[in-house]
Structure 1
Amino acid sequence: MGSCFGVIRQRSHLTSRNASRYSTKRGGRNEPLKKDKPKWKSEYPMTEGQLRSKRDEFWDTAPAFDGRKEIWDALKAAAVAIECNDHVLAQAIVDGASITLPHGSLMECYDELGNRYQLPAYCLAPPVNLVSECNDHNVSEHSELQEKKEKEFQLKVRLSTGKDLRLSATMADSIRQLKKQLQIQEDIDATNQRWFFSGKLLTDKTRLQDTKIQKDFVIQVNVNQPIVPN
Protein backbone atom coordinates (compact mmCIF):
# COMPACT_ATOMS: atom_id res chain seq x y z
CA MET A 1 0.00 0.00 0.00
CA GLY A 2 2.85 2.40 0.86
CA SER A 3 4.48 1.96 -2.53
CA CYS A 4 1.18 2.88 -4.15
CA PHE A 5 0.99 6.24 -2.43
CA GLY A 6 4.64 6.79 -3.38
CA VAL A 7 3.58 6.36 -6.99
CA ILE A 8 0.87 8.97 -6.49
CA ARG A 9 3.32 11.53 -5.06
CA GLN A 10 5.97 10.89 -7.71
CA ARG A 11 3.51 11.12 -10.57
CA SER A 12 1.16 13.83 -9.29
CA HIS A 13 1.76 15.82 -12.48
CA LEU A 14 0.11 13.03 -14.49
CA THR A 15 -3.57 13.76 -13.86
CA SER A 16 -6.68 12.07 -15.12
CA ARG A 17 -6.71 14.72 -17.85
CA ASN A 18 -3.43 13.29 -19.16
CA ALA A 19 -4.84 9.78 -19.04
CA SER A 20 -7.95 10.91 -20.91
CA ARG A 21 -5.83 12.65 -23.55
CA TYR A 22 -3.73 9.49 -23.97
CA SER A 23 -6.87 7.37 -24.20
CA THR A 24 -8.23 9.59 -26.96
CA LYS A 25 -4.96 9.18 -28.84
CA ARG A 26 -5.37 5.41 -28.61
CA GLY A 27 -8.88 5.76 -29.99
CA GLY A 28 -10.45 4.46 -26.77
CA ARG A 29 -12.14 5.92 -23.73
CA ASN A 30 -11.23 6.51 -20.11
CA GLU A 31 -14.25 5.80 -17.96
CA PRO A 32 -14.46 6.60 -14.25
CA LEU A 33 -14.11 3.60 -11.98
CA LYS A 34 -17.48 1.90 -11.52
CA LYS A 35 -18.69 1.02 -8.05
CA ASP A 36 -20.11 -2.31 -9.12
CA LYS A 37 -17.98 -5.29 -8.11
CA PRO A 38 -17.71 -8.29 -10.43
CA LYS A 39 -19.82 -11.28 -9.46
CA TRP A 40 -18.29 -14.68 -9.95
CA LYS A 41 -18.55 -18.24 -8.65
CA SER A 42 -15.62 -20.45 -7.75
CA GLU A 43 -15.42 -23.98 -9.14
CA TYR A 44 -15.55 -25.17 -5.52
CA PRO A 45 -16.73 -23.52 -2.27
CA MET A 46 -13.78 -21.33 -1.32
CA THR A 47 -12.75 -20.25 2.16
CA GLU A 48 -11.40 -16.81 2.99
CA GLY A 49 -7.95 -18.29 3.52
CA GLN A 50 -7.99 -19.94 0.11
CA LEU A 51 -9.08 -16.67 -1.49
CA ARG A 52 -6.22 -14.79 0.18
CA SER A 53 -3.72 -17.40 -1.01
CA LYS A 54 -5.05 -17.16 -4.56
CA ARG A 55 -4.74 -13.39 -4.53
CA ASP A 56 -1.24 -13.44 -3.04
CA GLU A 57 -0.13 -15.85 -5.74
CA PHE A 58 -1.43 -13.52 -8.44
CA TRP A 59 0.17 -10.37 -7.01
CA ASP A 60 3.48 -12.18 -6.53
CA THR A 61 3.65 -13.44 -10.12
CA ALA A 62 1.80 -10.88 -12.27
CA PRO A 63 4.56 -8.19 -12.32
CA ALA A 64 7.05 -10.76 -13.62
CA PHE A 65 5.16 -11.29 -16.88
CA ASP A 66 4.36 -7.88 -18.29
CA GLY A 67 3.84 -4.23 -17.44
CA ARG A 68 5.54 -1.99 -14.90
CA LYS A 69 5.90 -2.81 -11.22
CA GLU A 70 4.77 0.64 -10.04
CA ILE A 71 1.52 0.22 -11.99
CA TRP A 72 0.98 -3.26 -10.53
CA ASP A 73 1.52 -1.75 -7.07
CA ALA A 74 -1.05 0.94 -7.81
CA LEU A 75 -3.55 -1.62 -9.12
CA LYS A 76 -3.09 -3.75 -5.99
CA ALA A 77 -3.68 -0.72 -3.76
CA ALA A 78 -6.78 0.20 -5.78
CA ALA A 79 -8.08 -3.37 -5.54
CA VAL A 80 -7.66 -3.31 -1.76
CA ALA A 81 -9.52 0.00 -1.60
CA ILE A 82 -12.36 -1.46 -3.67
CA GLU A 83 -12.52 -4.48 -1.37
CA CYS A 84 -12.85 -2.06 1.56
CA ASN A 85 -15.62 -0.16 -0.29
CA ASP A 86 -13.45 2.98 -0.45
CA HIS A 87 -14.31 3.94 -4.01
CA VAL A 88 -12.96 7.48 -3.67
CA LEU A 89 -9.49 6.23 -2.67
CA ALA A 90 -9.49 3.65 -5.47
CA GLN A 91 -10.31 6.35 -8.05
CA ALA A 92 -7.58 8.64 -6.66
CA ILE A 93 -5.01 5.85 -6.96
CA VAL A 94 -6.03 5.11 -10.54
CA ASP A 95 -5.91 8.80 -11.50
CA GLY A 96 -2.59 9.38 -9.74
CA ALA A 97 -0.95 6.53 -11.64
CA SER A 98 -2.48 7.68 -14.97
CA ILE A 99 -4.24 4.38 -15.47
CA THR A 100 -6.81 4.33 -18.26
CA LEU A 101 -10.03 2.34 -17.80
CA PRO A 102 -11.81 1.80 -21.15
CA HIS A 103 -14.73 0.08 -19.41
CA GLY A 104 -14.53 1.61 -15.96
CA SER A 105 -13.13 -1.59 -14.48
CA LEU A 106 -9.74 -2.76 -13.25
CA MET A 107 -10.32 -6.04 -15.04
CA GLU A 108 -8.94 -4.31 -18.14
CA CYS A 109 -6.81 -1.17 -18.01
CA TYR A 110 -3.76 0.52 -19.56
CA ASP A 111 -0.86 2.64 -18.42
CA GLU A 112 0.32 5.76 -20.27
CA LEU A 113 2.72 3.69 -22.39
CA GLY A 114 -0.06 1.49 -23.70
CA ASN A 115 0.75 -1.56 -21.59
CA ARG A 116 -2.33 -3.62 -20.91
CA TYR A 117 -3.17 -4.88 -17.41
CA GLN A 118 -5.89 -7.37 -16.51
CA LEU A 119 -7.03 -8.20 -13.00
CA PRO A 120 -8.99 -11.41 -12.38
CA ALA A 121 -12.37 -11.08 -10.70
CA TYR A 122 -11.11 -12.83 -7.55
CA CYS A 123 -8.76 -9.90 -6.87
CA LEU A 124 -11.67 -7.48 -6.78
CA ALA A 125 -14.44 -9.39 -5.03
CA PRO A 126 -15.02 -12.66 -3.16
CA PRO A 127 -16.94 -15.45 -4.91
CA VAL A 128 -20.66 -15.85 -4.31
CA ASN A 129 -19.95 -19.29 -2.84
CA LEU A 130 -17.40 -18.08 -0.28
CA VAL A 131 -17.62 -19.98 3.01
CA SER A 132 -16.14 -19.10 6.37
CA GLU A 133 -13.44 -21.29 7.89
CA CYS A 134 -15.95 -22.45 10.51
CA ASN A 135 -18.57 -23.33 7.90
CA ASP A 136 -15.95 -25.13 5.84
CA HIS A 137 -15.10 -27.30 8.86
CA ASN A 138 -18.77 -28.02 9.43
CA VAL A 139 -19.29 -28.93 5.78
CA SER A 140 -16.31 -31.28 5.88
CA GLU A 141 -17.51 -32.84 9.12
CA HIS A 142 -21.02 -33.26 7.74
CA SER A 143 -19.64 -34.92 4.61
CA GLU A 144 -17.65 -37.38 6.69
CA LEU A 145 -20.68 -38.26 8.79
CA GLN A 146 -22.81 -38.63 5.66
CA GLU A 147 -20.20 -40.90 4.06
CA LYS A 148 -20.03 -43.05 7.18
CA LYS A 149 -23.80 -43.28 7.34
CA GLU A 150 -23.94 -44.48 3.75
CA LYS A 151 -21.45 -47.26 4.56
CA GLU A 152 -23.31 -48.45 7.67
CA PHE A 153 -25.26 -51.69 7.72
CA GLN A 154 -27.08 -53.75 10.34
CA LEU A 155 -24.74 -56.44 11.70
CA LYS A 156 -26.55 -59.57 12.89
CA VAL A 157 -25.35 -60.75 16.30
CA ARG A 158 -26.49 -63.87 18.16
CA LEU A 159 -25.83 -63.99 21.90
CA SER A 160 -25.16 -67.23 23.77
CA THR A 161 -28.19 -66.32 25.87
CA GLY A 162 -30.32 -67.07 22.81
CA LYS A 163 -31.08 -63.46 21.95
CA ASP A 164 -30.61 -62.14 18.41
CA LEU A 165 -30.03 -58.44 17.77
CA ARG A 166 -28.57 -56.01 15.27
CA LEU A 167 -25.80 -53.43 15.62
CA SER A 168 -25.06 -50.48 13.34
CA ALA A 169 -21.63 -51.16 11.86
CA THR A 170 -19.25 -50.45 9.02
CA MET A 171 -16.60 -52.75 7.61
CA ALA A 172 -13.94 -50.46 9.13
CA ASP A 173 -15.22 -51.00 12.69
CA SER A 174 -13.10 -53.03 15.09
CA ILE A 175 -14.44 -55.73 17.39
CA ARG A 176 -13.52 -53.49 20.33
CA GLN A 177 -15.81 -50.76 18.98
CA LEU A 178 -18.64 -53.23 18.46
CA LYS A 179 -18.19 -54.65 21.97
CA LYS A 180 -18.61 -51.16 23.39
CA GLN A 181 -21.74 -50.67 21.33
CA LEU A 182 -23.15 -53.97 22.59
CA GLN A 183 -22.25 -52.97 26.13
CA ILE A 184 -24.24 -49.73 25.79
CA GLN A 185 -27.17 -51.43 24.07
CA GLU A 186 -27.49 -54.57 26.23
CA ASP A 187 -25.54 -53.64 29.39
CA ILE A 188 -23.06 -56.48 28.83
CA ASP A 189 -19.56 -55.55 29.94
CA ALA A 190 -17.08 -55.72 27.06
CA THR A 191 -14.74 -57.88 29.14
CA ASN A 192 -17.47 -60.53 29.36
CA GLN A 193 -17.93 -60.76 25.58
CA ARG A 194 -16.24 -63.29 23.29
CA TRP A 195 -16.90 -62.80 19.59
CA PHE A 196 -16.66 -65.69 17.13
CA PHE A 197 -17.09 -66.00 13.38
CA SER A 198 -16.76 -69.28 11.47
CA GLY A 199 -15.49 -70.88 14.68
CA LYS A 200 -12.63 -68.38 15.03
CA LEU A 201 -12.20 -66.07 18.01
CA LEU A 202 -12.13 -62.43 16.94
CA THR A 203 -9.66 -60.24 18.84
CA ASP A 204 -10.42 -56.66 19.83
CA LYS A 205 -8.15 -55.26 17.10
CA THR A 206 -9.79 -57.30 14.33
CA ARG A 207 -11.86 -55.24 11.90
CA LEU A 208 -14.95 -56.57 10.20
CA GLN A 209 -13.30 -56.17 6.79
CA ASP A 210 -10.59 -58.60 7.97
CA THR A 211 -13.16 -61.32 8.73
CA LYS A 212 -14.52 -61.37 5.14
CA ILE A 213 -17.97 -61.33 6.67
CA GLN A 214 -20.97 -60.68 4.42
CA LYS A 215 -23.67 -58.28 5.51
CA ASP A 216 -26.26 -61.06 5.96
CA PHE A 217 -23.99 -63.36 8.02
CA VAL A 218 -24.26 -63.80 11.79
CA ILE A 219 -21.57 -63.31 14.44
CA GLN A 220 -21.73 -65.42 17.58
CA VAL A 221 -21.14 -63.70 20.91
CA ASN A 222 -20.52 -65.79 24.01
CA VAL A 223 -21.52 -63.93 27.14
CA ASN A 224 -19.61 -64.87 30.28
CA GLN A 225 -21.88 -64.38 33.26
CA PRO A 226 -19.99 -62.75 36.13
CA ILE A 227 -19.75 -64.89 39.23
CA VAL A 228 -21.62 -63.34 42.13
CA PRO A 229 -20.00 -64.17 45.49
CA ASN A 230 -22.24 -65.68 48.14
Structure 2
Amino acid sequence: MWQANCRRMHNLADWISGTVMGGCVGRNRMDRQGSGRSSTRSKKRGGRNEPLKKERPKWKSEYPMTEGQLRSKRDEFWDTAPAFDGRKEIWDALRAAALAAESNDLELAQAIVDGACITLPHGSLAESYDELGNRYQLPAYALAPPLNLISETANESEAPEHTEKQAPPPPTKQEFQLRVRLSTGKDVRLTASMADTIAQLKKQLHELEEIDLAHQRWFFAGKLLTDKTRLQDTKIQKDFVVQVIVNPNPPVTIN
Protein backbone atom coordinates (compact mmCIF):
# COMPACT_ATOMS: atom_id res chain seq x y z
CA MET A 1 0.00 0.00 0.00
CA TRP A 2 2.70 2.48 0.99
CA GLN A 3 4.77 1.76 -2.15
CA ALA A 4 1.70 2.53 -4.22
CA ASN A 5 1.19 5.70 -2.22
CA CYS A 6 4.75 6.76 -3.00
CA ARG A 7 4.16 6.37 -6.71
CA ARG A 8 0.89 8.29 -6.47
CA MET A 9 2.57 10.98 -4.41
CA HIS A 10 5.31 11.60 -6.97
CA ASN A 11 2.81 11.62 -9.84
CA LEU A 12 0.67 14.19 -8.03
CA ALA A 13 3.70 16.25 -7.12
CA ASP A 14 4.89 16.37 -10.75
CA TRP A 15 1.44 17.42 -11.90
CA ILE A 16 1.08 20.10 -9.24
CA SER A 17 4.52 21.56 -9.92
CA GLY A 18 3.60 21.98 -13.58
CA THR A 19 -0.02 23.20 -13.44
CA VAL A 20 -1.20 24.09 -9.95
CA MET A 21 1.55 26.06 -8.28
CA GLY A 22 1.92 28.57 -11.11
CA GLY A 23 3.42 31.87 -10.07
CA CYS A 24 3.97 30.66 -6.52
CA VAL A 25 6.59 28.19 -7.70
CA GLY A 26 8.45 30.83 -9.64
CA ARG A 27 8.42 33.18 -6.69
CA ASN A 28 9.68 30.50 -4.31
CA ARG A 29 12.50 29.56 -6.70
CA MET A 30 13.65 33.16 -6.85
CA ASP A 31 13.62 33.30 -3.05
CA ARG A 32 15.73 30.16 -2.86
CA GLN A 33 18.41 31.63 -5.15
CA GLY A 34 19.16 34.37 -2.63
CA SER A 35 18.51 32.74 0.75
CA GLY A 36 18.57 28.98 0.23
CA ARG A 37 15.93 26.31 0.75
CA SER A 38 15.93 26.38 4.55
CA SER A 39 15.16 30.10 4.74
CA THR A 40 12.27 29.69 2.30
CA ARG A 41 10.67 27.12 4.59
CA SER A 42 10.75 29.38 7.61
CA LYS A 43 9.47 32.44 5.72
CA LYS A 44 6.00 33.54 6.83
CA ARG A 45 3.53 34.70 4.20
CA GLY A 46 0.56 36.89 5.04
CA GLY A 47 0.55 36.43 8.81
CA ARG A 48 1.52 33.49 10.94
CA ASN A 49 2.84 30.55 8.94
CA GLU A 50 4.78 27.70 10.54
CA PRO A 51 7.03 25.25 8.67
CA LEU A 52 5.64 21.75 8.34
CA LYS A 53 6.44 19.67 11.40
CA LYS A 54 7.51 16.04 11.33
CA GLU A 55 5.00 14.90 13.94
CA ARG A 56 1.97 13.04 12.61
CA PRO A 57 -1.35 12.58 14.44
CA LYS A 58 -1.77 9.42 16.50
CA TRP A 59 -5.27 8.00 16.51
CA LYS A 60 -7.08 4.72 16.96
CA SER A 61 -10.02 3.50 14.92
CA GLU A 62 -13.18 2.31 16.65
CA TYR A 63 -12.58 -1.09 15.07
CA PRO A 64 -9.40 -2.72 13.65
CA MET A 65 -9.03 -1.34 10.13
CA THR A 66 -7.31 -3.03 7.19
CA GLU A 67 -5.13 -1.21 4.71
CA GLY A 68 -7.85 -1.56 2.08
CA GLN A 69 -10.46 0.00 4.35
CA LEU A 70 -8.14 2.89 5.15
CA ARG A 71 -7.42 3.41 1.46
CA SER A 72 -11.15 3.39 0.67
CA LYS A 73 -11.86 5.83 3.48
CA ARG A 74 -9.16 8.20 2.23
CA ASP A 75 -10.26 7.99 -1.41
CA GLU A 76 -13.81 8.80 -0.37
CA PHE A 77 -12.59 11.92 1.43
CA TRP A 78 -10.29 13.19 -1.31
CA ASP A 79 -12.88 12.52 -4.05
CA THR A 80 -15.72 14.35 -2.33
CA ALA A 81 -14.09 17.18 -0.34
CA PRO A 82 -13.50 19.51 -3.34
CA ALA A 83 -17.20 19.37 -4.22
CA PHE A 84 -18.28 20.98 -0.96
CA ASP A 85 -15.67 23.58 0.00
CA GLY A 86 -12.41 25.24 -1.10
CA ARG A 87 -10.53 25.01 -4.40
CA LYS A 88 -9.79 21.73 -6.14
CA GLU A 89 -6.19 22.66 -6.96
CA ILE A 90 -5.49 23.28 -3.27
CA TRP A 91 -7.09 19.95 -2.31
CA ASP A 92 -4.84 18.24 -4.88
CA ALA A 93 -1.79 19.95 -3.42
CA LEU A 94 -2.74 18.95 0.12
CA ARG A 95 -3.26 15.36 -1.00
CA ALA A 96 0.20 15.23 -2.55
CA ALA A 97 1.76 16.88 0.51
CA ALA A 98 0.04 14.41 2.85
CA LEU A 99 1.36 11.45 0.84
CA ALA A 100 4.86 12.92 0.85
CA ALA A 101 4.79 13.57 4.60
CA GLU A 102 3.53 10.06 5.32
CA SER A 103 6.42 8.69 3.25
CA ASN A 104 8.83 10.73 5.45
CA ASP A 105 9.71 13.04 2.56
CA LEU A 106 9.12 16.21 4.55
CA GLU A 107 11.21 18.30 2.17
CA LEU A 108 8.97 17.45 -0.78
CA ALA A 109 5.83 18.02 1.30
CA GLN A 110 7.08 21.46 2.33
CA ALA A 111 7.94 22.33 -1.27
CA ILE A 112 4.41 21.39 -2.38
CA VAL A 113 2.85 23.50 0.39
CA ASP A 114 5.06 26.50 -0.42
CA GLY A 115 4.50 26.17 -4.16
CA ALA A 116 0.72 26.19 -3.74
CA CYS A 117 0.91 29.23 -1.40
CA ILE A 118 -0.69 27.28 1.46
CA THR A 119 -0.39 28.74 4.96
CA LEU A 120 0.02 26.41 7.96
CA PRO A 121 -0.77 28.33 11.17
CA HIS A 122 0.24 25.38 13.37
CA GLY A 123 2.80 23.62 11.18
CA SER A 124 0.37 20.79 10.44
CA LEU A 125 -1.62 19.79 7.35
CA ALA A 126 -4.62 19.23 9.62
CA GLU A 127 -5.47 22.92 9.26
CA SER A 128 -4.39 25.25 6.47
CA TYR A 129 -5.43 28.29 4.44
CA ASP A 130 -5.02 29.32 0.82
CA GLU A 131 -4.24 32.79 -0.53
CA LEU A 132 -7.95 33.68 -0.64
CA GLY A 133 -8.39 32.87 3.04
CA ASN A 134 -10.29 29.61 2.50
CA ARG A 135 -9.83 27.16 5.35
CA TYR A 136 -8.96 23.50 4.76
CA GLN A 137 -9.17 20.78 7.42
CA LEU A 138 -7.83 17.25 6.99
CA PRO A 139 -8.99 14.37 9.23
CA ALA A 140 -6.42 12.31 11.09
CA TYR A 141 -6.99 9.26 8.87
CA ALA A 142 -5.88 11.27 5.81
CA LEU A 143 -2.53 12.03 7.44
CA ALA A 144 -1.56 8.80 9.22
CA PRO A 145 -2.73 5.19 9.58
CA PRO A 146 -4.48 4.18 12.83
CA LEU A 147 -2.59 2.53 15.65
CA ASN A 148 -4.72 -0.60 15.23
CA LEU A 149 -4.16 -1.02 11.47
CA ILE A 150 -4.32 -4.64 10.26
CA SER A 151 -1.77 -5.71 7.67
CA GLU A 152 -3.43 -7.44 4.70
CA THR A 153 -0.10 -8.69 3.32
CA ALA A 154 0.53 -10.92 6.32
CA ASN A 155 -2.91 -12.48 6.11
CA GLU A 156 -2.60 -13.13 2.37
CA SER A 157 0.85 -14.74 2.68
CA GLU A 158 -0.42 -17.22 5.25
CA ALA A 159 -3.38 -18.35 3.14
CA PRO A 160 -2.81 -21.26 0.69
CA GLU A 161 -3.00 -20.43 -2.99
CA HIS A 162 -5.71 -22.97 -3.72
CA THR A 163 -8.09 -21.63 -1.08
CA GLU A 164 -11.24 -20.29 -2.66
CA LYS A 165 -12.71 -17.00 -1.56
CA GLN A 166 -15.40 -17.40 1.02
CA ALA A 167 -18.85 -16.15 0.18
CA PRO A 168 -19.75 -12.83 1.84
CA PRO A 169 -21.82 -13.23 5.01
CA PRO A 170 -25.56 -12.61 4.73
CA PRO A 171 -26.73 -9.05 5.38
CA THR A 172 -27.01 -8.28 9.07
CA LYS A 173 -30.05 -6.60 10.54
CA GLN A 174 -28.06 -4.81 13.21
CA GLU A 175 -28.87 -1.12 12.97
CA PHE A 176 -26.47 1.81 13.25
CA GLN A 177 -26.45 5.54 12.62
CA LEU A 178 -25.40 6.33 9.03
CA ARG A 179 -23.99 9.81 8.50
CA VAL A 180 -25.24 11.49 5.32
CA ARG A 181 -23.81 14.83 4.15
CA LEU A 182 -26.03 16.89 1.88
CA SER A 183 -24.63 19.19 -0.79
CA THR A 184 -26.28 22.03 1.13
CA GLY A 185 -23.69 21.46 3.89
CA LYS A 186 -26.04 19.80 6.37
CA ASP A 187 -25.27 16.44 8.01
CA VAL A 188 -28.15 14.03 8.66
CA ARG A 189 -28.12 10.80 10.69
CA LEU A 190 -30.17 7.91 9.32
CA THR A 191 -31.02 4.66 11.08
CA ALA A 192 -29.70 1.98 8.74
CA SER A 193 -28.60 -1.63 8.53
CA MET A 194 -26.21 -3.33 6.12
CA ALA A 195 -29.22 -5.02 4.46
CA ASP A 196 -30.87 -1.70 3.53
CA THR A 197 -30.94 -0.55 -0.07
CA ILE A 198 -30.26 2.99 -1.22
CA ALA A 199 -33.91 3.27 -2.24
CA GLN A 200 -35.00 2.56 1.35
CA LEU A 201 -32.58 5.14 2.70
CA LYS A 202 -33.78 7.70 0.17
CA LYS A 203 -37.31 7.29 1.51
CA GLN A 204 -36.06 7.78 5.06
CA LEU A 205 -34.22 10.95 4.05
CA HIS A 206 -37.39 12.15 2.33
CA GLU A 207 -39.36 11.67 5.55
CA LEU A 208 -36.79 13.59 7.61
CA GLU A 209 -35.83 16.41 5.24
CA GLU A 210 -38.73 16.39 2.71
CA ILE A 211 -36.35 15.92 -0.21
CA ASP A 212 -38.05 14.22 -3.16
CA LEU A 213 -36.59 10.87 -4.15
CA ALA A 214 -35.96 12.08 -7.71
CA HIS A 215 -33.89 14.97 -6.38
CA GLN A 216 -31.44 12.75 -4.47
CA ARG A 217 -28.16 11.45 -5.94
CA TRP A 218 -26.12 9.31 -3.53
CA PHE A 219 -22.34 8.95 -3.84
CA PHE A 220 -19.70 6.96 -1.96
CA ALA A 221 -15.98 6.81 -2.80
CA GLY A 222 -16.73 8.89 -5.89
CA LYS A 223 -19.24 6.36 -7.30
CA LEU A 224 -22.95 6.86 -7.88
CA LEU A 225 -25.08 4.46 -5.80
CA THR A 226 -28.12 2.99 -7.53
CA ASP A 227 -31.43 2.40 -5.79
CA LYS A 228 -30.93 -1.39 -5.72
CA THR A 229 -27.49 -1.20 -4.12
CA ARG A 230 -27.29 -2.51 -0.56
CA LEU A 231 -24.99 -1.00 2.04
CA GLN A 232 -23.07 -4.24 2.44
CA ASP A 233 -22.24 -4.14 -1.29
CA THR A 234 -20.52 -0.75 -0.87
CA LYS A 235 -18.49 -1.75 2.26
CA ILE A 236 -19.77 1.36 4.03
CA GLN A 237 -18.99 1.35 7.75
CA LYS A 238 -20.85 3.21 10.47
CA ASP A 239 -18.24 5.97 10.73
CA PHE A 240 -18.08 6.62 6.99
CA VAL A 241 -19.81 9.59 5.33
CA VAL A 242 -22.13 9.20 2.34
CA GLN A 243 -22.49 12.24 0.07
CA VAL A 244 -25.92 13.21 -1.25
CA ILE A 245 -26.23 15.76 -4.05
CA VAL A 246 -29.59 17.50 -3.82
CA ASN A 247 -30.68 18.48 -7.31
CA PRO A 248 -33.91 20.53 -7.30
CA ASN A 249 -34.15 20.28 -11.10
CA PRO A 250 -33.45 16.67 -12.13
CA PRO A 251 -33.11 15.94 -15.83
CA VAL A 252 -36.38 15.15 -17.61
CA THR A 253 -36.51 11.71 -19.21
CA ILE A 254 -38.67 11.06 -22.28
CA ASN A 255 -40.16 7.58 -22.57
Q: State the alpha-carbon separation in 2 of the partners of residues 136 and 129 from structure 1.
A: 15
TM-aligned CA deviation for residue 4 of structure 1: 1.9
Contact 1:14 1:97 in 2 (8 A): no
Q: Does residue 20 of the first structure (1) align with residue 44 of the second (2)?
A: yes
Contact 1:63 1:69 in 2 (8 A): yes
- Output the amino acid matched with 2:17: F
Q: Which residue of 2 aligns with 1:170?
A: none
After superposition, the C-alpha distances for 1:85-132 in whole angstroms (9 at most, x for unaligned) are: 100000000011110001000000000110000011111110000011
For structure 2, the residue ranges without an aligned partner over 5 or more in a row are: 1-11, 29-39, 159-255
CA RMSD across the alignment: 2.1
TM-aligned CA deviation for residue 5 of structure 1: 1.9
Q: Which residue of 1 aligns with 2:109?
A: 90
- Output the amino acid matched with 1:63: P
- Output the amino acid matched with 2:126: M
- Output the amino acid matched with 2:16: C
Counting only pairs closer than 5 Å after superposition, residues 205-216 of structure 1 correspond to structure 2 as none
After superposition, the C-alpha distances for 1:114-167 in whole angstroms (9 at most, x for unaligned) are: 0000011111110000011256689xxxxxxxxxxxxxxxxxxxxxxxxxxxxx
2:70 corresponds to which of 37, 51, 58: 51
Q: State the alpha-carbon separation in 2 of the partners of residues 54 and 98 from structure 1.
A: 27
Q: Which residue of 1 aligns with 2:24?
A: 11
Q: State the alpha-carbon separation in 2 of the partners of residues 3 and 119 from structure 1.
A: 21
Q: Which residue of 1 aligns with 2:126?
A: 107
1:133 corresponds to which of 144, 152, 162: 152
Contact 1:46 1:129 in 2 (8 A): yes
After superposition, the C-alpha distances for 1:42-79 in whole angstroms (9 at most, x for unaligned) are: 11100000000000000000001111111111001101
Q: State the alpha-carbon separation in 1 of the partners of residues 100 and 81 from structure 2.
A: 19
Contact 1:99 1:111 in 2 (8 A): yes
- Output the amino acid matched with 1:110: Y
Aligned length, in residue pairs: 132
Contact 2:45 2:119 in 1 (8 A): no
Contact 1:47 1:136 in 2 (8 A): no
- Output the amino acid matched with 2:81: A
- Secondary structure at the aligned position of 1:21 is classed as coil
- Output the amino acid matched with 1:20: K
Counting only pairs closer than 5 Å after superposition, residues 1-230 of structure 1 correspond to structure 2 as 1=12, 2-6=14-18, 7-15=20-28, 20-22=44-46, 24=47, 29-133=48-152
Q: Which residue of 1 aligns with 2:190?
A: none
- Give the fraction of aligned pairs with identical amino acids, expressed as a percent: 72
Q: State the alpha-carbon separation in 2 of the partners of residues 129 and 41 from structure 1.
A: 6
Contact 1:14 1:98 in 2 (8 A): no
TM-score where L is the length of structure 2: 0.48
Q: Which residue of 2 aligns with 1:207?
A: none
TM-score where L is the length of structure 1: 0.53
- Output the amino acid matched with 1:8: M
Over 3 Å counting, the alpha-carbon distance change for 1:132 and 1:53 in structure 2 is same
For structure 1, the residue ranges without an aligned partner over 5 or more in a row are: 139-230
Q: State the alpha-carbon separation in 1 of the partners of residues 59 and 155 from structure 2.
A: 19
